[in-house]
Amino acid sequence: MDWLNLPPLSALRAFAAYTETGSVSRAGDLLNVSHAAISQQLRSLETRLGVALIDRSGRSLKLTEEGRQLADAVEAGFGRIGHAIDALTGAELDRPLAVSTSPSFAANWLMSRLGEFQVLHPEIDIMISPTPALVDPSPGGIDLCIRYGAGTWPGVESERLLTSPITVVAAPSLIGDLDPQTPEDLLPFPWIEELGTNESTLWLESRGVFTSLRRSRIQVPGNLMLDGARNGQGIVVSTLVAVEEDVRAGRLRVLFEDRMDDGYHLITRPGVHRPPLKAFLRWIRKSAREESRARVTVSSDRS
């Protein structure tokens, strides 16, 4: 880091406050200085960098392309600093722990285990945000994301929680005794997808058979997808973790497996974690380890 080449912190704070509010006057209010002081800091920053950060040619000010680039950088930098300070000083202790995950993982794995965490940590409030959208952890927002994949997401810290292949499953009442040898054997049947995702579409397309699908696809919220599969309403592409109990009970049959090395990952922002998040991470890691050991034991007993 070339510290001598960095602009003064006061100028960067003024620029960050301006980009956050979009107003010189409101930026001054945020920093408890006059709008003239903000304007002076902005011009000083432009002079120091040798580039125009603000376009003043119109009736209202707006950022130049260079200004937008610097705005993204200072927002991320000050955001991480503020997040770390809040975590170190305990300023966020009263804020509920916010966890984002897919509706299917929440319904079929996480919710049944949360009671144990609440017994261990009754002082921690939790907010589960089930969404199929790819959400990033953010200061003052989502603390933890649980994502499915290979674990290669940029800009975040990723730790594998559970390995879980992709599985194609259906109820015996729908599929009968059929032993499909190729995806083409499944084309005459209806399919169910989690609303906002396209796992079954991608799976069929990757095998070159999606355009040949002869029955409809039904999209439902994630917590209803497996209900539909159990009732014989369609074939589902899910993860082994989500359907294990149904497969063991005979409610669903595994027809195909794929992506054997993928799984669920714990996604956090780089830096210091606040105490509620640390406690939750310790608990969910332990819970996943215990489940993995139990799965190995069951497999050994069967063999």
What tokens appear for 58 in the block? 């119109």
- Type of residue at 39: S
In the block, tokens 């332990």 appear at 286
What pLDDT score does 79 carry?
81
What is the C-alpha to C-alpha distance for residues 105 and 265, in angstroms, rounded to an integer?
Answer: 12
Task: Identify the pLDDT of residue 213.
Answer: 65
Task: Report how far residue 69's alpha carbon sits from residue 43's, in angstroms, rounded to the nearest whole number.
Answer: 17
Please name the residue ranges forming H helices in the chain: 9-21, 24-31, 35-49, 65-89, 103-105, 114-120, 172-175, 199-206, 222-230, 240-249, 275-302
Q: How far is CA 204 from CA 5, 198, 201, in A?
A: 54, 10, 5
* Strand 97-101 relative to strand 144-149, pairing: parallel
- CA nearest 110: which of 137, 128, 131, 98? 128
The pLDDT of residue 78: 87
Q: Measure the CA–CA gap between 244 and 223, rounded to whole angstroms.
A: 15
| Measured distance CA(261)–CA(270) in Å, rounded | 25
Cβ neighbours, 10 Å, residue 148 = 23
pLDDT score recorded for residue 275:
87
Q: Rounded CA gap, 126 and 95, in Å?
A: 9
Provide the pLDDT for residue 16.
92
pLDDT of the residue at 302: 47
- Per residue of the chain (303 residues), what is the pLDDT tens digit? 778 888 899 999 999 999 999 899 999 998 999 989 999 999 999 999 999 999 988 888 889 999 999 999 998 888 878 777 766 666 566 789 999 998 888 988 999 999 999 999 999 999 999 888 888 888 778 999 999 988 888 889 999 999 989 899 999 999 999 999 988 888 889 989 888 776 777 787 777 776 666 667 788 887 788 999 999 999 999 889 889 889 999 999 999 998 888 999 999 988 888 889 999 999 999 999 988 776 655 444 444
Closest by alpha carbon to 70, among 122, 124, 6? 6
